[in-house]
Structure 1
């Protein structure tokens, strides 16, 4: 019977060529009953693991290959016959990748010939091969490869459906006989189904930067480039049956499988131990004595013994030593580092200094981290200071070499905006229509209904518009390109380039492998996550400032624990800038939960998560905590599991322990249950676990309803896992950051500004919050500022925060360092002195003037700009801006210079000052934009945020403010939470889905928004339930008009001047555009 294997298929990892996922190709090949499937993407192995896993699930034989395209355009598909050949193929791709910029591969035929041993090749002839001239020249060009791989080369024959297929096949058969190359039948499939042809056309247009109307012959002539059945292929190649038979011959010759890849850990031993395991044992017990100087608790000893036994059994000791080595390097450099995630369930990790969760205080579940039954490698995530993580990364490269270490890939995929942009371009829609469509959807997965299209001025019945939307939906989730992972490192004992191809990253001195974390997990290849956490940077800087200015040399471990004033601040939800608890959801939860000890913070971090919310565990826990519901336990055996959380399961470990204790699961089964939940929407096998779980609990006497709730909670955890150990790791950072803010708000403010970007709030809100806590904030100054924000002594009690040059938009750090180095003891006396002494560029001088940094020498912003631009009248006349000038050497040391005759300049209005502050500093110390509107709004009955406390619960209220944050959590069923700000404070808005649909444009687009709604107060938590909203951004033009504001808002750093009437339309528009954008999370 005729059999067929497709060995020339492409996936969408042949970027902008293939139009199907590898999983789709595998499923279609299985349904078509092909004997095997080979995936060969253009110069990459990036997509083979996904196809391999999908084929394996379906029992389909799979061959990983590469479509090698040389710099001169020759194309050949390479398939490795064994593990050694696969290593050579990876090394070949690495060679091409490292020669070229990111995303490109530079290979010559000579490179392929050098790596030809063990490879089987399918030569892909050019479409014009039937032409005699092309026939001869192409045959000569491939001769070196034929010589390098004798008897391992096939000649690919495919139907192109271009009108001359029979003539072309005859030419190929003739060429095959002449060159002694067997003919092999291929489909050269670009997609799994004919329905994908329109999408493939879009991708072709995107690749060629053209439109469908202009693409012409560059498009496929029809929809035949899809996978076909054996019967159809037999019909197409009825005159060449041997071509089909050769697909079976080649498939049988390809014995290599990705399952053969074996990850080997680095095994360097720095101590005197004979084996990695002995060294791990030594370091672990040495660390245990350091952690517990008064004696190692029996509980910890038992945990360490158990863990070490399992680690030795599974041969994971080298992996733990590698992570310990990296963390030890960071600690030695004074870089804060802390492990998190499931690794915090390990007592060994705690003793090694990798994590900070004390197993003596927290119940850890090692099976959540490592399980012999699961037979999957551990995954250790370590956070480092985000500004110093590069030091750690370069240490890894230096320690293990680039041949053995590389960062994992991240697959950047099309989302709605990028998908609709590309499709609309390809279909020839105008840029305006494309922009309107791309802005019509929030996030990934909303439908674009007719009402929404009409709202943005488009015709819902337009067939081209509907086709655009349909094709964009198909494109969502397709890979756009590869990027480097945030920090997942693969480190090997042998050459990494023989395991995975390596390529250049866009960042200098960075390389990354072609597989992402899911690919690595699927093949059991370990990675170490070297992650960046901004709050660690903030804490490290704060501790240095605390030591330098207050003389308190503290560490995260020695900061006073269980401080009642810190918990009182948290209970008030006074948490702007505090790690993890500054979101609106967390700030709403804090006054209800009222944390009073460290474990309460662990619960606080974990409870505002999809798992507990979807499992309906939050409200029962809060009712019990508030004494509104009795604390009960389904059984005594579960009291030990649920005692600390009042009988309500909140953590992954608790859910797993319930499965073990109450449902009869083993530790490995419980973790497999948790992992199965993560994919339950796709694999449809969750009912098998649910039945075992619920029936197991019922058999042990538990209420079936309670069993159902427990299972629902595990289901929520599956996709949004948050183990207790991870929550404890984060809770430590919550407490430390809260302690710093509570006791040293000046230190905390300077440190968090010096660590931006970080957290929910922009610098303007962080500065405002610090001022609300009594911290004086000083503006940037040419004679006082450093690059970083600094502390200046004001009195015996505290310090003022001087804004640093880093706060000035577009001002380079190198220029700031040059300025500080050149600053004389008495300071600069003006722009010319600064220019000559520091040799700053003209652009940098203008940025200083724009930022109003010359007030210390008696110049306000307008005067400073005039003086700076007057330093070179010729350049100013030519370009309108000062160019990058340096003084002549003869005058470089001059202290004084003859200044140009003074010009009387009209004063700049305060509103314009504020607008320019926001444009160049992203904040203003002079006034809030809403100050200029308060008189107008007060007359209309619009209240200030500070007046919310005067309004009774349930009453209607009108507010207007700048939009700070928009957030739509995945568990909120479409509800949007907004935070707005005026000159007196902030207000929290809740926008229900129906209201959102009515006022969508205002909700998504407004910089200044008006809201009318109902006040809702629950304890200390206050919200406004929005009923109506409107975009009032146009009112911000008042910043540049003659608008009188209350004198009290002009702060000490503002020189008092009368407001001037200067109504400039461009300034009005600028005022609307210079405010920093809101921070949107969805």
Structure 2
């Protein structure tokens, strides 16, 4: 009976959650409904999956609209019809603007078309086309010719809301979408308050005088059916790489053994047995094409010279290792293959392939060209509470100051006016509603059937077709993503090797994949053990730096464990601290529970990896491997409410109880599982990260300056560019501001001199940079300011930026004098010919006054144009007096209260177990070495961070596992000197 039902995936229009729509239908005695979201099929698969639970049959369609104006509804008779609707809708969503015609422009034989009745409008209906009569149209129908053509009429009661609050919410969403005040929202942009689902009998009663319409509607719905398999027993990914399954397996086996001697000099029985075991399971589970597709993608990447890292649970596979999908040897690490693939697993294995951020788009382009049925996966960007408060505040016309107060949460609810309370009420109500569709960070579908079999697609700015559903829904219908991700760490490694080849040609080419040698390298061991890893992938953050100090890790296996121990769940469960104890002090290991110690001897009875969840659930909780893997997957978050997960959880407790395990112990083990399973890495994933860490550590150990230049050019990592510039200086680099004759777009190094790149200058336009470099490359270096302005077309504003950063220092003329000269010439320039330089004018003899600039003035210009000074920031303090204490002295002052000055690097917010805000701070002392601080809630509230600058820190020196920190008691930011560029200007004699 209901041919036009909307969920909240009718974005910024509908208000009903998908499962809620089914519940409402069941409550109202509705057995069949057409799900026809506005220009969307996002909810279709979820509604169909849940429909059996409510004994409601959904059929699929789309409400085609231009904004809020309904043009027509398409309803699919079958799966072919649904595919046709998705393809047709996509043709509009792939354009810059959605422009729906008044009638379908193509033939759609497997679909019904329903037009909304409009008085006076002529309809020439095809056999599969009908006119929808809403209850409010029944009086007009009596006097219309269509009253005598009832065989072409159907019931059209739109369902967009559940009740009055939903309708109010709808109006607010429409106001947000139209960027207008609620009071100015036009009626044409709204639905009607009566667009709700009525009980079936009540709706029939409204059409009692025209019962044919009810019959026609029921007949239409009866003739519609879509079927999809949600059993997850089969994959709908591309089934065959070569279009022949047997040939696929022969190719996989050939490629596997072809890679054997690339990886192993003397492979033994253990290796051969592992290969045969994996190949058999991969073939049996039907995952051969998944391996081959990944292999083909990475073969292309290697042909282009792209760096990549294969990680995830795929690193547990020796076949993946031999195909060069991963660089982790699972035999060496004794990786748990069943974490990756087991006979209970129905979904394909998981490879996460990281590329440099500069290379990923080309890889994506290759995948779309090479594989026929390809699409990116969407993510639902939902309304967040604070963002909703801002949006609704504007809709209600609240002043910005009042909106700011509401977003902070610092108000007395009883003192708020009615409008402010409404903003809060409805912001909470729409929290979690989908707002717009975005793109998954790296998920790509490669399907056996056309993507439109399952979903419509839209076209984001990058130009790759993207589904209208997310990865969870995709997996429900057997579509499993390929993860093609990007990260700056690989960009740094790639760029560093190029810079090293240029700066040290005698050492080129570097073998950056010689991981076995790196694992034994003494310099790398030193960097690891002493946490001197700034710029190095995954090991440079303050938290990781402190963990490495505490563990004193100097080997690969230790780093693999540390990569997972640092994850939030392990630390929150309290097990990170326990792991450190057991790692550093072997006698502490005997305190581990015997069962857990026997399950996880390598990690001393502490759950560190995702595999540990499987092991503990299987050996301690008595779950089968399949149930244990379901438990592990369920911990990812989105599956946590699924019935199958809750069933496995209960099975865990039941098994422990039946086995006689103490309830307290069972609860504690479950707490540890639950606290970190969604965050912990697979061991192979940690091992993959550790490989990339070793590569970056090698570059840092032997070529620190070149590596820091690569870090700078890739816009850093965990820290801001300023710290990487500082790190280069600490390694003997001579840091220079941009220079007209030496700098390029990116930062460059010549010997030990590093010239900051032009692209780091704020407000310097790319066309200006290109003009400078093109002229310099073609006609040589510039000899003077006059020479520069005669050869490069540039505005006085752009030239001023270059002069202020002292880019013309090779002229030996003070930059203030150069600025004076530039502005004088700009005043006498002939600008009548646009092809000439702005400064192309007859030379005038004049003398400029002496305008000396100081080092401090240069520093403030650098802060303005680069964002940081190139000098020691302590030299810019107002008083000039700083504490004599340094980081190197703290070890001898344990439990003493000290006063030390530090330049703020970063502050990490976190919360105590009582949910109170606190911070971990990272500072540099005046000599450039790190100071680590802890700011507990009372201190954090009383002495907050106030932006960049030097802070005077007063606190007690603490030591834990040889790691020194200051527990802050008081902190204040020290005053910076008055900007000398504007302070007490002296009169100039003319």
The two structures have a TM-score, normalised by structure 2, of 0.89
Q: CA deviation at 1:120?
A: 1.9
Q: CA deviation at 1:515?
A: 2.4
Equivalent of residue 47 in structure 1, options 38, 43, 50? 43
Equivalent of residue 726 in structure 1, options 664, 682, 685? 685
CA spacing shift, 1:431–1:1009, aligned 2, 3 Å:
farther
SS of residue matched to 1:320: helix
SS of residue matched to 1:116: coil
- Per the alignment, residue 433 of structure 1 pairs with 402
Give yes or no for the alignment of 1:105 onto 2:98. Answer: yes
Contact 1:82–1:118, Cα closer than 8 Å, also in 2: yes
Task: Map 1:679-698 onto structure 2 (within 5 A).
Answer: 679=638, 682-683=641-642, 688-696=647-655
1:367-387 Cα distance to aligned partner (Å, 9 max, x none):
333344342233322001111
- Per the alignment, residue 556 of structure 1 pairs with 512
CA distance in 2: counterparts of 1:884 and 1:731, whole angstroms: 60
- Per the alignment, residue 484 of structure 1 pairs with 439
Contact 1:633–1:647, Cα closer than 8 Å, also in 2: no
Contact 2:6–2:37, Cα closer than 8 Å, also in 1: yes
1:252-292 Cα distance to aligned partner (Å, 9 max, x none):
2211134499735174539x996222212221221233222
- Per the alignment, residue 931 of structure 1 pairs with 875
Give yes or no for the alignment of 1:190 onto 2:160. Answer: yes
CA distance in 2: counterparts of 1:1016 and 1:253, whole angstroms: 75
CA distance in 2: counterparts of 1:23 and 1:970, whole angstroms: 36
CA spacing shift, 1:786–1:202, aligned 2, 3 Å:
same
CA distance in 1: counterparts of 2:77 and 2:746, whole angstroms: 58
1:399-437 Cα distance to aligned partner (Å, 9 max, x none):
236xx3322222222224421221100011012332444
- Per the alignment, residue 1073 of structure 1 pairs with none
CA distance in 2: counterparts of 1:606 and 1:883, whole angstroms: 66
1:651-697 Cα distance to aligned partner (Å, 9 max, x none):
11122123233443332221111123335753477664344334545
- Per the alignment, residue 653 of structure 1 pairs with 611
Task: Map 1:504-903 onto structure 2 (within 5 A).
Answer: 504-507=459-462, 509-550=463-504, 551-552=506-507, 553-558=509-514, 560-627=518-585, 629-632=587-590, 641-677=599-635, 678-679=637-638, 682-683=641-642, 688-696=647-655, 705-756=664-715, 758-793=716-751, 799-812=752-765, 815-823=768-776, 827-839=781-793, 844-873=798-827, 886-887=835-836, 898=843, 901-903=846-848
State the superposition RMSD in angstroms.
3.8
CA distance in 2: counterparts of 1:136 and 1:856, whole angstroms: 81
- Per the alignment, residue 907 of structure 1 pairs with 852
- Per the alignment, residue 94 of structure 1 pairs with 90
SS of residue matched to 2:836: coil
SS of residue matched to 2:879: helix
CA distance in 2: counterparts of 1:238 and 1:497, whole angstroms: 39
Give yes or no for the alignment of 1:324 onto 2:295. Answer: yes
For structure 2, list consecutive stretches of 5 or more residues without a partner in the other structure: none
1:489-540 Cα distance to aligned partner (Å, 9 max, x none):
2223554345432322223x43323222222122111321111111011011
Contact 2:596–2:606, Cα closer than 8 Å, also in 1: no
1:775-819 Cα distance to aligned partner (Å, 9 max, x none):
2222211111122222212xxxxx232222232234455543442
- Per the alignment, residue 906 of structure 2 pairs with 964
SS of residue matched to 1:719: coil
Paired residues, what number?
976
Q: CA deviation at 1:968?
A: 3.2
Moved more, 983-992 or 115-124: 983-992
Contact 2:141–2:147, Cα closer than 8 Å, also in 1: no
Contact 1:377–1:524, Cα closer than 8 Å, also in 2: no
Q: CA deviation at 1:1012?
A: 5.5
CA distance in 2: counterparts of 1:346 and 1:883, whole angstroms: 70
CA distance in 2: counterparts of 1:72 and 1:626, whole angstroms: 65
Contact 2:639–2:645, Cα closer than 8 Å, also in 1: yes
- Per the alignment, residue 225 of structure 1 pairs with 195
For structure 1, list consecutive stretches of 5 or more residues without a partner in the other structure: 130-134, 160-164, 441-447, 794-798, 877-881, 1043-1058, 1065-1082
CA distance in 2: counterparts of 1:602 and 1:694, whole angstroms: 31
CA distance in 2: counterparts of 1:969 and 1:302, whole angstroms: 49
SS of residue matched to 2:490: helix
1:960-979 Cα distance to aligned partner (Å, 9 max, x none):
75463443379894544343
CA spacing shift, 1:269–1:219, aligned 2, 3 Å:
closer
CA spacing shift, 1:640–1:307, aligned 2, 3 Å:
farther
SS of residue matched to 2:611: helix
CA distance in 1: counterparts of 2:971 and 2:644, whole angstroms: 45
Q: CA deviation at 1:597?
A: 0.8
Equivalent of residue 381 in structure 2, options 412, 416, 419? 412
CA spacing shift, 1:934–1:1061, aligned 2, 3 Å:
closer
Contact 2:912–2:918, Cα closer than 8 Å, also in 1: no
CA distance in 1: counterparts of 2:931 and 2:986, whole angstroms: 32
CA distance in 2: counterparts of 1:22 and 1:997, whole angstroms: 43
- Per the alignment, residue 366 of structure 1 pairs with 337
CA distance in 2: counterparts of 1:665 and 1:587, whole angstroms: 37
Contact 1:1012–1:1027, Cα closer than 8 Å, also in 2: yes
Contact 1:205–1:426, Cα closer than 8 Å, also in 2: yes
- Per the alignment, residue 157 of structure 1 pairs with 134
CA distance in 1: counterparts of 2:493 and 2:386, whole angstroms: 36
Contact 2:821–2:848, Cα closer than 8 Å, also in 1: no
CA distance in 2: counterparts of 1:577 and 1:792, whole angstroms: 20
CA distance in 2: counterparts of 1:350 and 1:379, whole angstroms: 14
CA distance in 2: counterparts of 1:624 and 1:961, whole angstroms: 35
- Per the alignment, residue 463 of structure 1 pairs with 418
CA distance in 1: counterparts of 2:813 and 2:17, whole angstroms: 62
SS of residue matched to 1:725: helix
Q: CA deviation at 1:243?
A: 4.6
CA distance in 1: counterparts of 2:345 and 2:217, whole angstroms: 37
CA distance in 1: counterparts of 2:138 and 2:955, whole angstroms: 73
Contact 1:89–1:115, Cα closer than 8 Å, also in 2: no
Contact 1:211–1:428, Cα closer than 8 Å, also in 2: yes
Equivalent of residue 278 in structure 1, options 240, 246, 250? 250
Contact 1:367–1:671, Cα closer than 8 Å, also in 2: no
Contact 1:614–1:712, Cα closer than 8 Å, also in 2: no
CA distance in 1: counterparts of 2:535 and 2:854, whole angstroms: 32
Contact 2:738–2:806, Cα closer than 8 Å, also in 1: yes
SS of residue matched to 1:453: coil
CA distance in 1: counterparts of 2:971 and 2:112, whole angstroms: 65
CA distance in 1: counterparts of 2:438 and 2:726, whole angstroms: 37
Equivalent of residue 58 in structure 2, options 59, 62, 65? 62
CA distance in 2: counterparts of 1:981 and 1:1063, whole angstroms: 37
- Per the alignment, residue 224 of structure 2 pairs with 254
Contact 1:579–1:734, Cα closer than 8 Å, also in 2: yes
